[in-house]
Amino acid sequence: MSGHVSPKSTYYAVFGALMVLTAITVAVAFLHLGTLNFPVALGIAIFKATLVILFFMHVKYSSRLTKMIVGMAFFFLAILLLLTLTDYGSRGWYASDRGSATAGTQVTVTGPDRATRPAPAAEAK
């Protein structure tokens, strides 16, 4: 525990900022920004999370070790998101006519030729 006590006005200001950012998030959800919808919403969410972490979780007034651990958590979260988004973004880059399998791994099962198939049995009346 840091031992730091923040005044109530700080908490009220952070709460007000979070409410304003929530209203902005809702307003942006109804706007058509094209491909910018996701980045804008993600940016607002990151800013809100930063406010919560700094003030409500008291990381702003914590030791350097705590700040480093929080920073490393965000670093690895960024790596996770980056790798996930590169996988999602690269889907559909290559699709062969027979499916999107790597060469040599797709097994094709075919039936016998028509010439070697036995003739169908005559229907009994």
What's the full length of the chain, in residues?
125
In angstroms, the CA 72 to CA 42 distance is 19
pLDDT tens digit sequence for 40-67: 999 999 999 999 999 998 899 899 999 9
| Structure tokens that stand for 117 in this block | 């198939």
b/e per residue, 62-78, with b = 16+ CB within 10 A? beeeeeeeeeeeeeeee
Q: CA dist 67 to 9, 38, 125, Å?
A: 24, 28, 87
- Distance (Å, whole) CA 90 – CA 31: 27
Q: In angstroms, what CA-CA distances link 74 with 14, 24, 34, 67, 107?
A: 21, 24, 27, 11, 43
**Number of helices followed by number of strands (H, E) in the chain:** 3, 0
User: Residue 1 to residues 17, 35, 64: CA-CA distances in angstroms?
Assistant: 25, 43, 13
pTM over 0.75: no
Per-residue pLDDT at 44: 95
Predicted local distance difference test score (pLDDT) of residue 87: 86
Structure-model confidence comparison of residues 72 and 85, the more confident one: 72
